[in-house]
Amino acid sequence: MTAPTKIPTVTTRSSRRSTAPWVVIGIALASLALWNLGAAQTTAAEAAATLALVPNASGLVRDGAILYDHNCSACHGDTGQGLAEAKTSFPEDKRNCTSCHRPSNPAQMDHLAMNWRFAFDVGVAPAVIGDGALSAFGTGTALFGYIRLTMPRPWPDSLTSDEYLRITTFLAAANGADAVRVRTVDDLSHVEIRETVP
């Protein structure tokens, strides 16, 4: 990378001209990765950082970690620390979310209403795992109800009840609650979230 005389000028111009297609392709890839409803789900290897929060987990907790990674980590982070952590998974030039996700936009928008430079308000996703996280929720039932009613932005209630059950069970377990015996949505009423916060 020596002799940077006249070449940089040319490079800068042509790369500026080709910005738009790359942004579009980048978003298409990100959308596929995040919202591939069906076909290629997030793999356990891709969800490694999330699964590490619940070592030796099986069943609902393990499934929930992978579903969380797929549907929630884009805003709440791979280990649930919130938007600041989530941003580190984006390319550097896309971390200024509000350049496209304007705070004055609605929180819920359908695909047709969005284009490559205009999208729903992502908001500021709080931490959902760790000391003090989820302190507003007493039981797994309350947490399940909230998540299904509001998450994931921008399409709440877009997952199945079974998927919400698994994600809720994972979040409870990752926050130290005893969720090993959870099998159904009804079982979530026995899961104490608040008591687990040290």
| Residue numbers at the binding site for ligand HEC (CB under 6 A) | 23, 27, 30-31, 34-35, 71-72, 74-76, 86-87, 90, 94-95, 97, 99-101, 111, 114, 116-117, 119, 122-126, 128, 134, 136, 146-147, 150-153, 167
Say whether 180 sits in a helix, a strand or coil. coil
Tokens of 184: 């159904």
By the 8 A CB rule, do 144 and 188 touch?
A: yes
Nearer to ligand HEC by Cβ, of 4 and 18: the residue is 18
* Cα separations in angstroms, 86 against 47, 107, 111: 13, 18, 22
Nearer to ligand HEC by Cβ, of 30 and 49: the residue is 30
Nearer to ligand HEC by Cβ, of 126 and 187: the residue is 126
Smallest separation (angstroms) from ligand HEC to the CB of 39: 15
Nearer to ligand HEC by Cβ, of 9 and 155: the residue is 155
Nearer to ligand HEC by Cβ, of 5 and 43: the residue is 43
By the 8 A CB rule, do 47 and 66 touch?
A: yes
Smallest separation (angstroms) from ligand HEC to the CB of 9: 26
By the 8 A CB rule, do 70 and 89 touch?
A: no
Smallest separation (angstroms) from ligand HEC to the CB of 92: 10
Which residue of this chain has its Cβ atom nearest to ligand HEC in the complex?
Answer: 123
Q: What is the DSSP string of 39-66?
A: SSPPPTTTTHHHHTTSTT--HHHHHHHH
The phi, psi pair for 55, rounded to 5°, reads -60, 145
Taking the C-alpha atoms of residue 182 and residue 184, their distance in angstroms, rounded to an integer, is 6
Taking the C-alpha atoms of residue 168 and residue 152, their distance in angstroms, rounded to an integer, is 13
By the 8 A CB rule, do 122 and 97 touch?
A: yes
Smallest separation (angstroms) from ligand HEC to the CB of 124: 6
Smallest separation (angstroms) from ligand HEC to the CB of 58: 20
Smallest separation (angstroms) from ligand HEC to the CB of 72: 3
Nearer to ligand HEC by Cβ, of 115 and 189: the residue is 115
